[in-house]
Amino acid sequence: MNHSKDTVVNNVLWNRLISVCEEQANALLRTAFGAIVREAGDLSAGVFNSRGEMLAQAVTGTPGHVNTMAASVSAILNILPADTLVPGDVLVTNDPWIGAGHVFDFVVVSPAFFNGKIVGYLASTSHIVDVGGLGWSAEGRTVYEEGVTIPVMHLRRGDKLNEDLLSVVTANSRVPHEARGDILSLLTSNDTGIDRLVDLMREYTLATLDGISDFIFSRSAAATRTALEKVPAGTYQNSLQLDGYDAAIELQATMEIGGGLVSVDLAGSSAALERGINCPLNYTAAYAAFGIRALLTPDIPNNHASLAAVRITAPPNLIVSAERPAAVSARHVVGQALPDLVLGCLEKALPGKVIAESSGALWTIALSGAGPSKFTSLNVALGGMGARSNSDGLSTTAFPSGVGAVPVEAAEIAAPLIYHSKEFVADSGGAGQFRGGLSQQIVIGSRIDEDISLSAAAFERLNAGPAGRQGGKAGAAGYVAISDGTTITDKGTYVIPRGETLILRTPGGGGFGDPKKRKKEAVTHDVSHGLISEESADKNYLLVNEESTNETI
Amino acid sequence: MLRIAIDIGGTFTDVVAQTSEGFTSAKVLTQPTQPEVGAMDGVQRLLKKLSKNVADISDVVHGTTLATNALIERRGAKTAFVTTAGFRDVLEMRYEKRFDQYALDIEFPEPIVPRLLRFGLDERILADGSVLKAPSIDDINNIAHALKQQNVEAVAIGFLHSYKNLSHEKLVAQRLSDLLDKQVTICLSAEVAGEIREYERFSTVCANAYVRPLMSRYLDKLLGQLNEQGFKGSFLMMLSDGALTTLENALRFPIRLVEGGPAGGVALAAQVATEIGSAKTLSLDVGGTTAKICFIENGTPKTARRFEIGRAWKGLKGSGLPVRVPTVELVEIGAGGGSIATVDALQRLRVGPQSASAVPGPAAYAQGGTDATLTDAHITLGNLDPEGFANGMIQLQPLLARNAVAEHIQAPLAFDTAESAASGIVELANETLANAARVHGIELGLDIASFDLLVSGGGGGLHGARIAEKLGIKRVLVPRNAGVGSAVGFLHSPVAFKSALSVLEPLSEIDSDQLAQRLTELENSVRSVVADAVPSEWIEVRVNAELRYQGQGLELSFELSPDAGFSEALVHLENKFRNRYQEIYGFVLENIAVELVALSVNAKDTRTPTSSPTFIPNTVRLCPKNTRSIHNVQTGDSGEYRVVPRDAVGCQVMVGPIVIPEAQTTTLVPSGWSVVGSTHGHLIMSRTNA
């Protein structure tokens, strides 16, 4: 009787812990500055036990934050140990190797005291608009050029805010007030989380979180193990080429599956570069684990135990395991390619069950005024998702990132820009029995007839499109140009002269399965809706009948 | 006085008549292809009961989910969308974001207007409202030609930044209405939802155009039949935000009717709250497939300006069709009587969101359902009496309920009895509902423990006491007439209309004269909508301003005082905002501009809606000495509950454990609680152990 009653109580507690984090994340979302953070949800929140192990996280978080944060808390506590902390203390860092992989992301950790003892921790991460240095750019040679790094330290000591630290950040930031506001909102969202956690413990007369920790971890570990044991044991390899900064880079993975564990070693990947697309291992691990978990254990919540079953390693100083002082601003270019890399290994273990490659790294559109008017505008251009084993890929949808695009009207209100068009690109989805998701073309110019500066740091997959699977074709490669004839081929900085426009065409998703097996109605539908051309229908698919409707416009 | 309310839902049509003597109701089946037939049938039955004629009806108040269902089932008109060239795919790209991080198999709903009926027109208005490119007449003519060839029944027009300047939308609408068949419906995004964010505005105007022909045909028929029989009264429609509006206005903006039914339920809750004198009320309606939560303060339900229709992917937030319409702020939770209890891969017990619905229904209905539902758990515990369930329309089979619970929950989780497994299911449902209320309350910045809990729907009375305990709430209210609650709610609703204006400029940079003029125009148009049904001396117009720190998402709303001059009012707003922000977050942000996001205007009939007739409490009637054995969720033991008919609960306090069965619902008053009847005939339960 007691056992089953505990089960119900523990169920309830687990759900309640998740809503503690949700509430924490919502508070953050509302108070974050910058449309990109708000629209994108580029943040995360989680609750940890007294050993610094993650118990639950908000569903809203993006994988790069959530999975890095799971490791951040214990790393931070190694530097400022629990026994030195007093109620009210709050710790902070934006160290890329401890936090979320670049200096923009601040991790704030607050101990939760209950009856005079630390019972757990609340942590949250979000993207701060500007912390100095080069700003949003891949042109840094070292992390020192990328902005100010705050080592692990107190953001609040007891009830006293560390104004010295905040003044260092504001002195370095191009948008000091917003930066200060964002850091403070991380702190208050944790405070909210602590209040809820303590309420919860009172309500259920819990002295510690040990019992619920054991319950969550044992259930998660067992379910993860069961799911992983269904995958044939063995060693699986895959490699993937990216454009790199200005020369191709190679990502290589060797995956071992067996005994309810998945380990991936990334030896053989290219060496770290003197440019800001390097990825620290913590961020690499976050996205690689995400890809594996999304395919194999999508229903098991993220926590210490479910993440422990997936191990990611790499020899030091590769592009996936860059060490200080490597430049890491645009680390997501490499990081967000890792799900495709590990899914390619899994395709060998589970042929025919794995989503085709997707457009990968978020294309950050980082524009700023290069004329008399100063402004900065951040948005993202999203490509197609890979086709699934039983359905078409989603068009213009971020994957693996969880963010969305800023509406055109909001972007144009925030900066003197004109979006001239934003439309699907026909034939960009890889052909297949299931078609890859379509990409889009976006054309942007100045509203005030002035030069615009562009960072091309995140325009990836310009050389080759995402690969298909099981006979499906690759999606279209991306394309970026300026209307004066300049084609963008590296990740440097460009100027869009007044009167000219920027043309962005994102990559399309890979196709799945032999295109000849695609249902005729599906091909006819795609042609009549202008999603594929008649030529592509002729070339890739079984011939369409004459009566297919012509596109109207 | 003879007022009639008609609530057409997916399954049932409720008709309620209000006379000076009180309410009379009839329930008939909805006829999906001819909803007006069921409605008229219900009206005739009531009139016969009352010995009255259609000509005697003073008012008809109508709410319906027909528009919602047409959208969910994609049964609307063949609709085209004319938009800024280069942006026709905005409607299909949506937010360009997955609504579930880990599920690789999600699907988005099909756009209402397929790509080949989406036309780009070479025109452009900029963010400041200035014109970059005016549309050419030739281009419009070409589109008109294509629309004719396609035989479209409805056209939605949505251009970028039309919320700032709608001249292009107007121009194109005018030209198209000259060229197209008179039957073709034309809707403008700036009129239907004049707010920034192109996807949501476009989605709203397309949905509006899509359902308008159907709604207009249907309402023509209903009104035609009423008129044929001599109807001379007023005809009003229930909007999603709990306000009534004229037929003409409802037909312009049928998308605003979508949540009319649930809004009626909330209106009733608000009325009951007022009658009982509950200043802070949490309304919880536990239905067959979902439960709905709404906070009500001083008799006024919380409202929002965005709603999502038909969350098609496992009910997940983000998987439906967003529309920007004023609506009562309902949170819908996938936990109702038909919700299925399961054990997931982590050996966790879950309840919902999957539902056995009405068909096959809970296992106990013996209609082929085998899953263990929440209703089956209640039957296993003895909470529901198998005799006389749903007026005897359904004969419950308790053994089937028990078997389902034993097989699906008791065995896999090793509970020692089916009763303890069933109490686990009920407890988890209680927790899910309580937690949704808790989270929503926190989002709204409310202290839930200071609220009363008002429960309705078939399952409300079964869960009220336990949920109240979880939320620290001390009083639970169970209204009369809960079975036809929405229709009764219509009769308590005022005529009103709301509209909003996007501004998005820092307070310090606003051209106050120009904005004052735009606001006056909006005020006049909103007032004129209400003036069609309300004498002008009764109309009250209120303006609310939404503010935020520039760049932040958190918006706080303040009423604009009607007396001060407009530019002075703007100055006060800034201080009010900074003070309130400090109260909430404990710090101010210096040197960051405060931005005026939007102004919203609400015009309302100030006359108090009619009140329920006073109910004479009957304490004389003897309670039958009847008890029922019910398993206690918390202690795990069974106990005897006294069975007391609803009519027997009077002004004398009775102490739990009591069970109060009715035709449509059952109320549990556990030990630690007492119950008393209010003067209006509602039940008031109070905690005696708090």
> Percent of chain B scored above 90 by pLDDT?
55
* H or E element that contains A305: helix A304-308
Report helix, strand or coil for B464: helix
Residue B619 has what pLDDT? 46
| Least CB–CB distance from A294: residue in B104, B420, B585 | B104
Q: Which residues pair with A424 in a beta bridge?
A: A440
Which residues from chain A sit within 8 angstroms of residue B331, using beta carbons? none
How far B263 CA lies from chain A's nearest CA (Å)?
A: 26
Give yes or no for a cis peptide into A400 (omega within 30° of 0): yes
Residues A74 and A174 in one domain: yes
Q: Is residue B52 over pLDDT 70?
A: yes
Task: Please answer whether residues A236 and A296 qualify as being in contact, where contact means their C-beta atoms are separated by less than 8 angstroms.
Answer: no
Q: Using alpha carbons only, give the angle B43, B45, B47 rounded to the nearest 5 degrees.
A: 70
ipTM entry: 0.93
Q: Which residue has the higher pLDDT, A546 or B83?
A: B83
Residue A550 has what pLDDT? 43
How far B410 CA lies from chain A's nearest CA (Å)?
A: 9
Q: Is B415 on the interface with A (CB under 8 A)?
A: yes
Residues A429 and A460 in one domain: yes
| Least CB–CB distance from B551: residue in A33, A300, A394 | A33
Q: Is B89 on the interface with A (CB under 8 A)?
A: yes
Residue A6 has what pLDDT? 78
Residue B690 has what pLDDT? 56
Cβ–Cβ of B552/A31 closer than 8 Å?
yes
CATH number listed for the domain at residues B496-605: 3.30.1490
Beta strands in B316-412 (DSSP E): 321-323, 327-328, 331-333, 339-343, 349-355
Distance (Å, whole) CA B585 – CA B563: 30
Residues A191 and A53 in one domain: yes
* H or E element that contains A340: helix A338-349
Q: Which amino acid is at A127?
A: H
In chain A, the residue whose alpha carbon lies closest to the alpha carbon of B127 is A413
Please classify residue B12 by burial: count the beta carbons closer than 10 Å to its beta carbon, then call 0-12 exposed, 13-18 middle and 19+ buried. middle
Q: Tally the residues of chain B.
A: 690
Q: How many helices (H) and strands (E) does chain A have?
A: 13, 19
Query: Between the CA of residue A260 and those of A60, A296, B12, what are the distances in Å?
Result: 28, 12, 52
Cβ–Cβ of A423/B86 closer than 8 Å?
yes
Q: Is residue B311 over pLDDT 90?
A: no
Cβ–Cβ of B585/A12 closer than 8 Å?
no
Strands A261-265 and A452-455: unpaired
Q: Is there a domain that residue A548 lies in?
A: no
Query: pLDDT digits over B583-615, tens only?
Result: 877 777 777 889 999 999 999 998 866 555 554
Please classify residue A248 by burial: count the beta carbons closer than 10 Å to its beta carbon, then call 0-12 exposed, 13-18 middle and 19+ buried. exposed
Residues A363 and A349 in one domain: no
Task: Please answer whether residues B373 and B363 qualify as being in contact, where contact means their C-beta atoms are separated by less than 8 angstroms.
Answer: yes
Cβ–Cβ of B160/A408 closer than 8 Å?
yes
How far B108 CA lies from chain A's nearest CA (Å)?
A: 8
Does domain B75-213 fall under CATH 1.10.10? My reply is: no
Does domain B3-71+217-258 fall under CATH 3.30.160.20? My reply is: no
Structure tokens at B30: 């909805």
Sheet holding B496-506, edge to edge: B496-506, B594-605, B539-549, B556-560
Cβ–Cβ of B592/A178 closer than 8 Å?
yes
Q: How confident is the model at residue B390 (pLDDT cuts 50, 70, 90)?
A: low
CA-based Rg of chain B, rounded to a whole angstrom? 26
B93, B333, B417, B470: which to substitute to probe chain A, counting the most A Cβ within 10 Å?
B93
| Least CB–CB distance from B344: residue in A299, A409, A410 | A299
- The arithmetic mean of pLDDT across residues B317-329, rounded, is 91
Q: Is there a domain that residue A532 lies in?
A: no
Task: Spell out the alpha helix ranges (H) of A55-175.
Answer: 63-79, 163-172
Residue B161 has what pLDDT? 97
Helix, strand, coil share of chain B (percent; to 5): 35, 25, 35
Cβ–Cβ of B89/A424 closer than 8 Å?
yes
Which residues from chain B sit within 8 angstroms of residue A531, using beta carbons? 115
Domain extents for chain B?
3-71+217-258, 75-213, 339-427, 496-605
Across the A:B interface, residue pairs with CB atoms under 8 Å apart total 209
3-state secondary structure B93-158: HCCCCCCCCCCCCCCCCCCCCCHHHEEEECCEECCCCCEEECCCHHHHHHHHHHHHHCCCCEEEEE
Cβ–Cβ of B198/A440 closer than 8 Å?
no
Cβ–Cβ of B421/A4 closer than 8 Å?
yes
Sequential DSSP letters for B483-546 = GGHHHHHHHTPPBEEEEEEEEEEEGGG--HHHHHHHHHHHHHHHHHHHHTTS-GGGEEEEEEEE
A164-173, B162-171, B436-445: segment of lowest average pLDDT: B436-445
Cβ–Cβ of A63/B101 closer than 8 Å?
yes
Report helix, strand or coil for A167: helix
Structure tokens at B650: 């009077």
Residues A248 and A278 in one domain: yes
Q: Using alpha carbons only, give the angle B48, B5, B608 rounded to the nearest 5 degrees.
A: 125
Q: Is there a domain that residue A492 lies in?
A: yes
- To which residue do tokens 């399965």 refer? A513
Q: Is residue B445 over pLDDT 90?
A: no
Distance (Å, whole) CA A334 – CA A244: 8
Q: Is residue B483 over pLDDT 80?
A: no
Q: Which residues of chain A have pLDDT under 70?
A: 1-5, 34-41, 61, 543-553
In chain A, the residue whose alpha carbon lies closest to the alpha carbon of B550 is A33
| Least CB–CB distance from A404: residue in B95, B348, B589 | B95
Angle of the B398-405 helix axis to the B418-443 helix axis, nearest 10: 80
Which residues from chain A sit within 8 angstroms of residue B198, using beta carbons? 407-409
Q: Is residue B687 over pLDDT 90?
A: yes
A413, A417, A548: which to substitute to probe chain B, counting the most B Cβ within 10 Å?
A413
Residues A141 and A262 in one domain: no
Residue B345 has what pLDDT? 82
Q: How many helices (H) and strands (E) does chain B have?
A: 17, 35
Query: pLDDT digits over B250-287, tens only?
Result: 999 999 999 998 899 899 999 899 989 999 999 999 88
Q: What is the dihedral of CA A161, A164, A166, A172, to 10 degrees?
A: 180
Interface of B with A in 267-306 (CB under 8 A): none
Q: Which amino acid is at A289?
A: A
Q: Is B435 on the interface with A (CB under 8 A)?
A: yes
CA B366 to chain centre: 32
Cβ–Cβ of A293/B427 closer than 8 Å?
no
How far A160 CA lies from chain B's nearest CA (Å)?
A: 13
How far B498 CA lies from chain A's nearest CA (Å)?
A: 23
Distance (Å, whole) CA B126 – CA B57: 52
Q: Under 8 Å CB-to-CB from A399, ≥6 apart: which residues?
A: A339, A358, A359, A385, A386, B98
Category of A32 on φ-ψ map: left (φ > 0), alpha (ψ -120 to 50) or beta: beta
Cβ–Cβ of B199/A227 closer than 8 Å?
no
Q: Is there a domain that residue A339 lies in?
A: yes
Cβ–Cβ of A552/B150 closer than 8 Å?
yes
Distance (Å, whole) CA B313 – CA B291: 18
CA-based Rg of chain A, rounded to a whole angstrom? 24
Q: Which residue has the higher pLDDT, B441 or B621?
A: B441
* Mean residue pLDDT across chain B: 89
| Least CB–CB distance from A178: residue in B420, B427, B551 | B551
Residue A278: which domain range?
Answer: 226-353
Q: Is residue B560 over pLDDT 50?
A: yes
Which residues from chain B sit within 8 angstroms of residue A405, using beta carbons? 93, 95-97
The candidate with the shortest Cα–Cα distance to B453, out of B291, B606, B689, B588, is: B291
Q: Is B421 on the interface with A (CB under 8 A)?
A: yes
Which residues from chain B sit within 8 angstroms of residue A382, using beta carbons? 96
3-state secondary structure B214-229: HHHHHHHHHHHHHHHC
Q: Which residues pair with A205 in a beta bridge?
A: none
Cβ–Cβ of B98/A399 closer than 8 Å?
yes
Q: Under 8 Å CB-to-CB from A416, ≥6 apart: which residues?
A: A369, A373, A375, A446, A447, A448, A450
Q: Is there a domain that residue A528 lies in?
A: no
Q: Is B106 on the interface with A (CB under 8 A)?
A: yes
In chain B, the residue whose alpha carbon lies closest to the alpha carbon of A20 is B439
Angle of the A281-296 helix axis to the A338-349 helix axis, nearest 10: 40
Query: pLDDT digits over A88-138, tens only?
Result: 999 999 999 999 999 999 999 999 999 999 999 999 998 888 999 998 999
Residues A42 and A143 in one domain: yes
Residues A166 and A183 in one domain: yes
Structure tokens at A380: 């993202």
Q: Is residue B398 over pLDDT 60?
A: yes
Residue A546 has what pLDDT? 45
| Least CB–CB distance from B197: residue in A23, A223, A407 | A407
Query: pLDDT digits over B280-306, tens only?
Result: 999 999 887 788 999 999 988 998 888
A3, A11, A36: which to substitute to probe chain B, counting the most B Cβ within 10 Å?
A11
Which residues from chain B sit within 8 angstroms of residue A412, using beta carbons? 126-127, 160-161
Q: Is there a domain that residue A129 lies in?
A: yes
Query: pLDDT digits over A239-258, tens only?
Result: 999 999 999 999 999 999 99
Residues A104 and A21 in one domain: yes
Q: Tally the residues of chain A.
A: 553
Task: Please answer whether residues B6 and B60 qualify as being in contact, where contact means their C-beta atoms are separated by less than 8 angstroms.
Answer: yes
Q: Is there a domain that residue A544 lies in?
A: no
Q: Is B348 on the interface with A (CB under 8 A)?
A: yes
Last residue of a domain, one of A353, A373, A397: A353
In chain B, the residue whose alpha carbon lies closest to the alpha carbon of A549 is B116
Q: Under 8 Å CB-to-CB from B621, ≥6 apart: which residues?
A: B647, B648, B650
Which residues from chain A sit within 8 angstroms of residue B160, using beta carbons? 408-409, 412
Q: Is there a domain that residue A345 lies in?
A: yes
The pTM score is 0.91
The candidate with the shortest Cα–Cα distance to B197, out of A152, A223, A413, A203, is: A413
Residues A465 and A362 in one domain: yes
Residue B613 has what pLDDT? 56
Which residues from chain A sit within 8 angstroms of residue B345, using beta carbons? 223, 226-227, 299-300
Q: Under 8 Å CB-to-CB from B422, ≥6 apart: which residues?
A: B376, B377, B378, B380, B381, B405, B409, B631
Kindly state the DSSP code that residue B409 receives in the 8-state scheme. Answer: I
Sequential DSSP letters for A2-70 = HHHHHHHHHHHHHHHHHHHHHHHHHHHHHH-BSHHHHHHT-EEEEEEETTS-EEEE-TT--HHHHHHHH
Task: Please answer whether residues A68 and A328 qualify as being in contact, where contact means their C-beta atoms are separated by less than 8 angstroms.
Answer: no
Residues A260 and A185 in one domain: no
Query: Between the CA of residue B332 and those of A29, B304, B545, B556, what are the distances in Å?
Result: 22, 14, 27, 24
Q: Which residue has the higher pLDDT, B670 or B315?
A: B670
Q: How many separate domains does chain A show? A: 3
Task: Spell out the alpha helix ranges (H) of A393-519.
Answer: 408-414
Cβ–Cβ of A11/B428 closer than 8 Å?
yes
Residues A172 and A294 in one domain: no
